[in-house]
A and B are shown apart, each in its own frame.
Chain A
Amino acid sequence: MQSEVFHHFDPSASSGENGGPLYGRRAAVQSGICVRGWPTEAGSRALKGFKAIEDASVVERMRRAGAALVGNTRTSELGFGLYGDCSGKALAEGLADIVLMTDTLGEARVAAALAGLCGFKPSWGRISRFGLIGLVPSMESCGMMAGNPGDIRVGFEAIEGIDDRDPSMPGSNVPPRVNESGTPALPPSAGIVTQCLETLDSVERVAFSRGLSRLRLLGIPVREVKFEDFDLFRTIHQVIGSVEASSSCGKYDGVRFGHRASGGGNWNEMYLRSRSESFSPLLKTFLFQGAWFQFENYEAFEKACRIRARLADESRKLFSGVDVLVFPARRAANHAASAQTLDRIYDAFSLTLLSNVTGQPSISLPGFVTAGEEDLGLQIVGPLFGDERILSISEWLFRKGEEAR
């Protein structure tokens, strides 16, 4: 059945393997994550009527861990941004305990911050991309949202790890885990990026400084670190993201699946009509931008790739001085759920793009960065493949936070 929240909903879904770490938990996935036989339209007309042929590896692993798969949630177009996304609602309304969702710009973390939940984006390469209808392969990770970081850790442990069907995972290049969960050095030290602070408005400043005070109260040393090129993350994400999106969307041609426009005297017209009817103005802008870089300004794209490598390197070095970096997860004034233009989207996600560009893991926690009714979410970024570490820190923080309340 369908609902306002779910594209496909099966509340009586039975649990997976007995005794698994997720046994008895209800999991939902975004409709861009393939579940065999389910309508898998990823919020896009380009996939109208498409039913997944196979389970995504993450779905297979959730089942194996014992989760009951209750449905797939309505999502923004191809998971880009949060306009139309219902994953937060599925959790808030108690219809699921954990939601798997793609994090391309920071969707899992920002949606969590909007709903007072925890949202996690794992390191790029820790989660198999097989069965994810992606948009920006090198930036997106299958993330997740849940009411507490403990559930996220269990979910992450269930789905992470090498998969034969995703050859782009780093495989044997993954360094030994930075710190096993349960034995992190606590309290950790935290860094705040000076250049980020400068972009915060008055509400955000108030909320963030309250959050930092709460961290200090828990014994966490906080110090400023410099990241001169912080403002470049947005441009780099947009240039590379749009180019990859333009390529990824090449498969939506109406030939094998999805929407095919009627009329059209020849294949070329059929293509043009189908594609022009398949994408929203927002996606079209993004895809046109990508096509423009591909066809007209390839040098700018190459330059963006070089800058990206530099940003990742600088970002890595920041962790020699601190255990984690902290940011607010979302902006106060720019509402991600209503952003429907590229500029507004990039405004709304400007605080989360860093870890999508660098591939580093990042989590957002409620209850720390607050101003009045507003909870902007405390975003914690760790070094690449330091996923277990930031999850342990989150669990510790979450517990301390609850004790304090």
Chain B
Amino acid sequence: MSMDFEPVIGLEIHVQLNCETKMFCSCPNRPGDDPNRNTCPICLWMPGNLPLFSREALEKATLACLALHCEIQKESAFDQKVYYYPDLPKGYQLSQFHKPLARNGWLEIIGENGAPNRIRIQKIHMEEDVARLVHEYEGRHPVSLVDFNRAGVPLVEIVTEPDLRSPSDAMEFLRLLRMQLRYSGSSDCSMEQGTMRVDANVSIRPRGTDVFHTKVEVKNMNSIRNVGDAIAYEISRQADCVKAGEPVVLHTRLWDPDKRVTSPMRAKFEGPCVPDPSVPLIVIEDEWLETMKSRLPEMPAHREERFVNAYGLSRDEAVLMSSDRELSEYFDSVVRFDVSPRLAAQWISAQLLPLFKEHDENPADSPVTPERLAGLLAMIEREEINANSAREVLKKLRDGRSSAQQIVDECGYRQVSESAELDALVDRVLEENPSAVENFHKGAAKAMGFLMGRAMQASGGKANPRLLKEIMTKKLG
């Protein structure tokens, strides 16, 4: 990218709400099932049917808007976005164009320079997803198949202001957005699964000016990293255009994740939007809105602050512990059993997260419940076992039902803190390794590590390391 240009980026993000049913009928919201299983006369739009707007869709959409600090509009309404395509069974998509559910939201990202940067969200509206088209061959004849499982699945579309200035801004914004929405419980937000789809509008302008130039829309990115890469590619492509004296033309481009380039796609058809006469006007009452607000959990930024202030976590520990709602709730529960919050955070991040990942588990349904983990951490705090043994105990906690205490007792992990016993052990180790002792006295600090290792080994890993070192140092001294 040339230093002369500044990119201007806005995002349009479609997020699938994790409702039980579709938006206008009671079909299950499970687009991945066998084709055309989850359909009914309403979502197939058979003649004579009328859309029945789902309360849950409104609730989840509202939670999503609140999580993005939007103002919920007193009145919102559905329009018909008209276009003809076999993925759209009625010739129009029910979407909110003239009266969206929410406006004026924001998220505060930390920019590349480390300073906070508030990114404005222009509006969020609800809409139904369309069917999925599958293009195949029957012998030599191309056929197009329509899977209506996805038709009518509830979505919100989030439209930002063109406030982003770099690919990394965009990626940071998306990560934050995803975290907020997952916290709100309204969506899984997986770009890989297609429950979050991002289009980026990119333009460039001479640095220091504030006009907007022709934008190009980039689509088809299936990960946050790809969004960053596609934007970066598009910025340099436009800069090359400008340097070569070619005009940037308004159009849509597709990101090719294999070739890592964008290429132009068919001209995008923008249909008109007319008010829908069948879906009633949505009027939000204050009392209902308060109920929705009360359903939002403590959001990540607050939770992070609380973890720093109330629990004394470091900033990095607090960020990690608050990054995921389930994880943060797990952490909170562990701490409630009166164990050191920092010890808990360290054990969760270094030991438990890899374990969850290995077994593809969520914190909430792991057999290592907060109570059982707290039992183990308490023993570490009381120096009843050392870290090595504790890692073994943790594995056994995951695989069995016994408490940490029981495992330690049954397997003999209890730490040896008896001075007499350790005294004898150290004597024996020093006696068996005269050359190491000699080296130590010659000033080789490494020899101490070697001797400690031997002593620990001799104890079967159960020696209290602090006490062991004390004795060893004294005897060598």
Contact = CB atoms under 8 A, between A and B. Distances in A.
12 contacts: A50-B47, A54-B41, A129-B50, A132-B48, A133-B47, A166-B50, A249-B91, A251-B89, A253-B84, A256-B46, A294-B274, A298-B274
A319 interface: no
Contacts of B53: 167
Given A165-B50, A250-B82, 17 more contacts: A34-B48, A40-B48, A54-B41, A129-B50, A129-B278, A130-B48, A132-B48, A137-B278, A167-B279, A168-B50, A168-B279, A247-B82, A250-B92, A255-B86, A256-B45, A257-B46, A267-B144
A267 B279 contact: no
Nearest to A256: B44
A137 B277 contact: yes
Contacts, number: 91
A318 interface: no
Contacts of A247: 80, 82, 91-92, 274
Interface of B: 41, 44-53, 80, 82, 84, 86, 88-92, 144, 146, 271-272, 274-275, 277-280
A256 to B, nearest CB: 6
A232 B347 CA distance: 76
A168 B80 CA distance: 15
B interface, by DSSP: helix, strand, loop or mixed?
A: loop
B48 A244 contact: no
A305 B89 CA distance: 26
Contacts of B278: 129, 137, 167-168
A295 B269 CA distance: 11
B388 to A, nearest CB: 64
B279 A243 contact: no
A298 B272 contact: yes
A53 interface: yes
Interface residues on A, range: 35 or more
A251 B51 contact: no
A92 B438 CA distance: 123
A133 B46 CA distance: 9
A387 to B, nearest CB: 20
Interface string A35-79: 000001010000100101110100000000000000000000000
A301 interface: yes
A56 B88 CA distance: 24
A130 B146 CA distance: 26
A243 B91 contact: no
A56 B271 CA distance: 32
A278 to B, nearest CB: 13
Contact of A243 (B84, B88, B274): B274
A213 interface: no
Contacts of A132: 48
Interface in A296-329: 298, 301, 305
A134 B16 CA distance: 31
Given A50-B47, A256-B89, A167 B84 contact: no
Contacts of B46: 53, 256-257
A53 B40 CA distance: 10
B86 A253 contact: yes
Contacts of B144: 267
A131 interface: yes
